[in-house]
Chain A
Amino acid sequence: MKSHQSALTIILLSCVLTTTAFSATASSTEASTNIWRDVPPGPPDAILGIAQAFRECTAENKVNVCVGAYRDEKGQPWVLPSVRSAEEIMLSSENKEYLPIEGDSAFVNKALRFAYGANAPLDRIAGVQTLSGTGACRIGGEFLSQFYSSKNILVPDPTWGNHHKIFKECGLTVGTYRYYDRSTNRLDLQGMLEDLRNAPDGSTILLHACAHNPTGCDPTDEQWDQLLDVIRQKQHLIFFDSAYQGFASGDAEADAKALRRVMDAGYPMLLAQSFAKNFGLYGERCGTLSVVCHDAAQKDILMSQLKCIVRPMYSSPPKHGSSIVRTVLSDEKLTQQYYQECASMADRIQTMRQRLVQALQDAGSSHDWSHISEQIGMFAFTGMSAEMCDTLTDQYNIFLTRDGRISIAGLNDDNLGYVAKAIHSVTDGKSITSN
């Protein structure tokens, strides 16, 4: 099906086109009819567009490994039982009143402690509830654009595609730093350090708190030592994006190690937090944006400014997701239950990750797939080229993003063998590294 390939090519090309302005001026009394005439169609989103293509595909053996949403062993979405229990409780206890502009403060406090630790100095962390990670990045980016001395933000290469769009919309100048070495399928530490050194002092550096999306490749503790050295010298501002806490290793405390280390060392930082994956609350849009401040007075000031960004965007955040998280984390039994459920998701993914590598070998592949074993989180960054991905989609009805990223959550007993064989056949005799 060539249409996939051409459609996806158009997607990639179109993503860099700006929409053309159309004339809003009327030419006659027939003015009304001309308002929208010249509006061009907007290109489909790279990731969500592929998800749509999957939905529209009628092949029985189709496999969805593109969107980063958890699936159980039957390939079904999974609502955490602790989340359902919270909803039951909420049926009789929740009203529908507006949340404050900054969101549900009880939820925000729970969320910040979840990220920063039980003893987090909340009195000097300015935190607002946001529409999941996207909303947090947008609020954070707008804040930086309006109030921070540098308009430069550097994101890793590669990163989640929407990062570029979000920060550009905020009016920031988005640059990249080398992150992943495609010739070794490992972290490109030297390239990363060099690019951070070369960036103007005080630039904002976006870092994935854990389980880097799309590569799954996180710095080790020693690598963090070196990164923080450079960041300190350059007085860069760290902006963490934390979308997989608890979901990466199965241990929420361990997954927060890097961001807590930075916080404890006294670096100013921003944190975008998402509960989409770890609580399975994807569609309810639940997250936070926080800024670590010097003291409580500064926190108050920053809260006032953050509210000025939220109010003209959507007034106040949606409460269903945050009420669920608050309800779970306020109940000891539900909290324990939640941690187990989150760990079970991470465990299943871990298992499938190892089994995928085994299955590739079983299929006869002689490639070194150890990078997949070592990667962390929901995705495997295979190293496949865009052409290989297109073939997987067109010939095998396996839907993934064209950067070679597979959502492991989409793998199960029924499709693992099929996917492994397909990957083997498109990669056999070809390179899965590039320079």
Chain B
Amino acid sequence: MILPSISRSVLRQHSKAAARYATNIHASRTMSTSSSPWSQFEMAPTDPIVGLNEIYNKDDFPSKVIVGVGAYRDDLGKPYVLPCVREAEQILMDKNLDMEYTGIAGEPKFVDLALKFVYGEDSVPIQENRVHGVQALSGTGGLRVFGELMAKHGHKHIYVPNPTWGNHIPIFTNSGLEVRKYRYYDAESSDLDFTNMMKDIKDIPKGSLILMHACAHNPTGMDPTMEQWKEMSETIKKQGLVPFFDCAYQGFASGDPVKDASSVRMFVEDGHLISMVQSFSKNFGLYGQRIGALSVVGADEDEAKRVVSQMKMVIRPMYSNPPRQGARIVTTILEDPRLTQDFLDQCRGMADRINLMRTLLQDKLAEAGSTKNWDHITKQIGMFAYSGLNKDQVMEMREKHHVYCTADGRISMAGVTSGNVDYIANAIHDVSK
């Protein structure tokens, strides 16, 4: 049932035909509620990830389980607001701040703290004041601004790993970039397809954008080792490619934000002028606030600032300026050492629970009698387990066991609890034996 993401050209073809028909109808009718401009439209496909919630909500099976969207749940399956976030909110209430517009680029203090969080305060470009950026609408918003920015500046395509987060494709397509893929994951062995990845990277034309997941690759959970990252860095430099990082899980992958930023920091140290989008949805649990950052490392301060000024040109006709609450929460936490420590502890707590669930799930699969190799579940990192289940198996799991994951077999480990892990393991075993 996975619905392909519809490319803009296909949409346009359809809508052109529909529009021609609509125009003809339109011209021959007088104004009435029946001469609607919208009568020829067809239902668009539901988003494969978010649409899962809708299907799940319609199911009234009492033991139904959803392991779809990448949002953390506690061991009772409940959403979790980090205590440091609650405390920050109370602090903000007490400050009685106004709700004036922030700048197009967002809260400068937030951007500064966000960039230091990922690049590291002692990063050379940070010290040299040549890393600049904007507050973004979480990861998606940052990606879209970046895509439009690059499309306006001569880029025609961007390379993403295969597979990648589904929404990457329509984001960049709608930005005006053609999405191309480099091999990344070997489904057969449930492992990184490093050799073929390097082959494909060597074929990427000079000057092309290459997107990489900074850590906890979504959906596979398979990250390169530091040695592999090193080889990628050298090759990308030799190829003259433009490296762009999508960093959505810093702190959430291993539990250690510094460790999770290793790949990014290595590239910066190797002299790449990287660009990056950060999301604070997962690590700070601020999903609904839409808080993130988009940044560039410039050759010098002026250059980075010029790029930021161009980002603002993209933002103003899109949403004018970003929402304040999420930025204020993150700022309140990261500018206070004690709150920052609380955050680190609570973020690690989330990562630890997920890793515990990985181990538990693998054990339970063995207990259930599965003879398949499920090592990849504990080898993978981050919120997701790329189970290896195929589309039919996923559908069977939905229909027969009311366990919902996305059609690519991606399981959100955050949705696994000690209460449902047995049930899930049995369901997976049943459809895959």
Give me the interface of A with B, judged by CB distance under 8 Å: 19, 21-29, 31-37, 39-43, 45, 48, 52, 67, 69, 76-79, 83, 87-88, 91, 95-101, 131-132, 134-135, 138, 146-149, 162, 165-166, 168-169, 201-202, 232, 235, 237, 266-268, 276, 280-285, 291, 293-294, 298, 300-302, 304-305, 307-308, 311-321
Contacts A134-B320, A314-B137, A314-B290; is A147 near B38 (CB within 8 Å)?
A: yes
What are the 8 A-B residue pairs with the smallest beta carbon separation, nearest first? A26-B240, A31-B240, A25-B207, A131-B319, A42-B309, A312-B170, A318-B323, A320-B325
Q: Are A39 and B303 in contact (CB under 8 A)?
A: yes
- CB neighbours (8 Å) of A19 from chain B are 152-153, 310, 313
Q: Are B323 and A95 in contact (CB under 8 A)?
A: no
Q: Are B32 and A266 in contact (CB under 8 A)?
A: yes
Q: Are B99 and A79 in contact (CB under 8 A)?
A: yes
Within 8 A of A (CB), among B1-41: 6, 11-12, 15, 18-20, 22-23, 26-27, 31-39, 41
Q: Is B160 an interface residue (CB 8 A)?
A: no
Interface size class of B (residues with CB under 8 A): 35 or more
CA distance A87 to B137 in the complex (A): 21
Q: Are B273 and A301 in contact (CB under 8 A)?
A: no
Give me the interface of B with A, judged by CB distance under 8 Å: 6, 11-12, 15, 18-20, 22-23, 26-27, 31-39, 41-47, 50, 53, 69, 71, 79, 81, 85-86, 89-90, 93, 96, 98-104, 137-141, 144, 150, 152-155, 167, 170-171, 173-174, 206-208, 237-238, 240-242, 271-273, 281, 285-290, 296, 298-299, 303-307, 309-310, 312-313, 316-326
Q: Are B319 and A135 in contact (CB under 8 A)?
A: yes
- CB neighbours (8 Å) of A293 from chain B are 36, 38
Q: Is the interface of A mostly helix, strand, loop or mixed?
A: loop
Additional A-B contact list (12), CB under 8 Å, known A96-B79, A313-B174? A24-B155, A39-B306, A41-B310, A77-B99, A95-B81, A96-B286, A202-B26, A266-B32, A283-B321, A304-B45, A307-B46, A312-B174
- CB neighbours (8 Å) of A313 from chain B are 140-141, 144, 171, 174, 318
Q: Are B288 and A314 in contact (CB under 8 A)?
A: no
A135 to chain B, nearest CB (A): 5
Q: Are A312 and B144 in contact (CB under 8 A)?
A: yes
A380 to chain B, nearest CB (A): 21
Q: Are A45 and B303 in contact (CB under 8 A)?
A: no
A82 to chain B, nearest CB (A): 13
CA distance A25 to B42 in the complex (A): 41
CA distance A45 to B105 in the complex (A): 12
A147 to chain B, nearest CB (A): 5
Chain A, Cβ-Cβ closest to B242: A35
CA distance A29 to B93 in the complex (A): 52
CA distance A134 to B320 in the complex (A): 6
Contacts A283-B324, A318-B288, A320-B323; is A42 near B137 (CB within 8 Å)?
A: no
Chain A, Cβ-Cβ closest to B54: A100
CA distance A23 to B208 in the complex (A): 11
- A37 contact from B101, B303, B318, Cβ within 8 A: B303
Q: Are A132 and B319 in contact (CB under 8 A)?
A: yes
Contacts A23-B154, A31-B240, A300-B43; is A318 near B318 (CB within 8 Å)?
A: no
Q: Are B38 and A294 in contact (CB under 8 A)?
A: yes
Chain B, Cβ-Cβ closest to A313: B144
Q: Are B26 and A280 in contact (CB under 8 A)?
A: no
Contacts A134-B320, A267-B31, A298-B41; is A235 near B104 (CB within 8 Å)?
A: no
Q: Are A42 and B310 in contact (CB under 8 A)?
A: yes
Contacts A24-B207, A165-B317, A266-B33; is A39 near B27 (CB within 8 Å)?
A: no
A124 to chain B, nearest CB (A): 9
CA distance A69 to B22 in the complex (A): 41
Q: Are A100 and B289 in contact (CB under 8 A)?
A: no
Q: Are B26 and A235 in contact (CB under 8 A)?
A: yes
A213 to chain B, nearest CB (A): 14
